[in-house]
Amino acid sequence: MGAFFGRKLRQYVHRRVSGDCDSLRCAQEKILYGMLGIAWVLLLFPYLLGVAMAARVELWPVVLIDTISYAWLLFLVLNTSLSYPARVYGLLLLIEFLALSLLFITGNDGAGWLWLFLAPVLAALLLDCRNGYLVSVASTLMLGLLALMDLIFFSGWMVLLNQGLALFVVISSNYLTLSIVVVFIIGRLLNSLDGTLKALREGTRELELTQEVTVDTMASLAEYRDIETGNHIIRTRHYVQLLARQLQRQSPEYASVLDDETIETLSRSAPLHDIGKVGVPDDILLKPGRLTVDEFEEMKKHTEYGKEALMHAEEKLGSNHFLRLAAEIAWTHHEKWDGKGYPRGLSGDEIPLSGRIMAVADVYDALISKRVYKEAVSHEEAMAYIVDHAGRQFDPEVVRAFQAVSEDFRSIARRFADQ
């Protein structure tokens, strides 16, 4: 049950988080949506129990406050049209409403001050210091206004003042001072974190650029030896990314594996799927016609050559997710769902997901591309072949993703067509 709710929470957060996930705003969005996703589930039972008990003793104001609060929380969770700032302000209003209601009903004996203190802290954490200070001051002014109304119009109306005006002033002053200090500390920490994230992004961009240039150079080694491949490595990189994104959307099982970072790494690794062809003799690799049985057996070894070369690189560099994934793709993209592929004859889920995705992308591009031993087929024919071989050559779930984005495949094929 815990795993189920954990998966659902990750999906809820992922669908709503926008922007670069190494930015401060992305971290703030994850905090907000994670908090909302947890809150509406965890607070359901206390809400029902509290309402039932309050109704039993006829505390109807409590029933009303709890019902309004929980309905408001559900609105913030389920309304997909709300922007991030609107959702934050909605949450702050909800907390202010709860805090003032509890202070009004229970005075200093309840959790009202705790809820009131939470509002500026969250404002600073989820937005910025300026909003945190504004919420602190606004909360204090609201309390002062209620107290003034009680003194002038409704003597004894506000429970807080039953213990004396002096005590109320002291607690309010302490609340304002403490909340401003905490907001200031949060602001300094967030500024420091933002600076660190910017420095990390710059370093990451340089690393990614170096990695991309290295990958393209390595992949070009195989491309230059096989002059017919043309823009094959470019097209397959885009195909792989499309399929992975669609699988992330359509399959909860695959979504837990295909996070944004993995998809990006998968996309960058895809061009190396045929790097092992550098080890295939020229008379086989460049043969203008179909291969004999023995020649094809030699050609099959390119999967082993690619895997060994990339794993050797990982041994030199240490543990590296990118190289490990690239080696996995190079080794397994010719395996088949029914176990009749090569080099190891893996079947079904024994084949790594990266290899199953690459298999569809690679075969589609091979079908639509002209070779000396065959003519290119149309997009519709290639699509029909892949759909027909779902459950035999290809993972049915990956084929379903392919069908959903097939028009995007067609667009990529046209955009990066061989000259």
Dump pLDDT digits (tens) for 345-379. 999 999 999 999 999 999 999 999 887 667 889 99
Predicted structure pTM score: 0.55
Q: Check pLDDT > 60 for residue 194.
A: yes
Backbone angles phi, psi at 371, to 5 degrees: -130, 165
**Angle formed at CA 339 by CA 338 and CA 340, multiple of 5 degrees:** 95
**Domain CATH code at residue 336:** 1.10.3210.10
Q: Are residues 113 and 234 in the same domain?
A: no
Q: Which of 146, 178, 197 is the last residue of a domain?
A: 197
Q: Are residues 126 and 246 in the same domain?
A: no
Supply the pLDDT for residue 390. Answer: 95
Q: Are residues 44 and 144 in the same domain?
A: yes
| More confident call, 291 vs 90 | 90
Supply the pLDDT for residue 221. Answer: 61
Top mean pLDDT of 13-27, 170-184, 265-279, 370-384 is at 170-184
The number of domains in the chain is 2
Sequence-ordered list of residues with C-beta below 8 angstroms from that of 147, at least 6 positions apart, any chain: 158, 160, 161, 165, 168
Tell whether 221 is covered by a domain. Answer: no
Tell whether 136 is covered by a domain. Answer: yes
Q: Are residues 193 and 238 in the same domain?
A: no
Supply the pLDDT for residue 5. Answer: 56
Pair 82, 32: CB distance under 8 Å = no
Q: Which of 197, 216, 247 is the last residue of a domain?
A: 197
Q: Check pLDDT > 70 for residue 211.
A: no
**Per-chain mean pLDDT for the chain:** 84
Q: Are residues 262 and 407 in the same domain?
A: yes
Tell whether 211 is covered by a domain. Answer: no
pLDDT digits (tens, 9 = 90+) for 97-122: 988 888 877 777 777 888 899 999 99
Supply the pLDDT for residue 229. Answer: 53
Q: Check pLDDT > 90 for residue 200.
A: no
Average pLDDT over residues 80-97: 91
The secondary structure of 59-97 as a DSSP string is -HHHHHHHHHHHHHHHHHHH-TT--HHHHHHHHHHHHHH
Angle between helices 60-78 and 44-56 (to 10 degrees): 160
Q: Which of 179, 197, 215 is the last residue of a domain?
A: 197
Neighbouring C-alpha atoms within 13 Å toward the C-beta of 22: 13
Pair 291, 238: CB distance under 8 Å = no
Q: Are residues 189 and 79 in the same domain?
A: yes
Q: Are residues 172 and 307 in the same domain?
A: no
Closest CA to 129 of 187, 188, 195, 190: 187
Q: Check pLDDT > 70 for residue 1.
A: no
Supply the pLDDT for residue 134. Answer: 94
Tell whether 146 is covered by a domain. Answer: yes
Pair 362, 273: CB distance under 8 Å = yes
Tell whether 347 is covered by a domain. Answer: yes
Q: Are residues 367 and 255 in the same domain?
A: yes
Residue type, 313: A
Tell whether 357 is covered by a domain. Answer: yes
Angle between helices 406-415 and 379-388 (to 10 degrees): 140
Average pLDDT over residues 288-302: 87
Q: Are residues 299 and 244 in the same domain?
A: yes
Q: Are residues 280 and 192 in the same domain?
A: no
Q: Are residues 176 and 312 in the same domain?
A: no
Supply the pLDDT for residue 210. Answer: 61
Tell whether 220 is covered by a domain. Answer: no
Closest CA to 72 of 91, 86, 54, 88: 91
What's the domain range around 394?
226-415
Q: Check pLDDT > 80 for residue 54.
A: yes
Q: How many whole angstroms separate alpha carbon 260 and alpha carbon 51?
A: 42
Supply the pLDDT for residue 253. Answer: 83
**Using 50, 70 and 90 to split pLDDT, how confident is the model at 13?**
low
Tell whether 84 is covered by a domain. Answer: yes
Q: Helix, strand, or coil here: 149?
A: helix
| More confident call, 374 vs 75 | 75
Q: Are residues 290 and 377 in the same domain?
A: yes
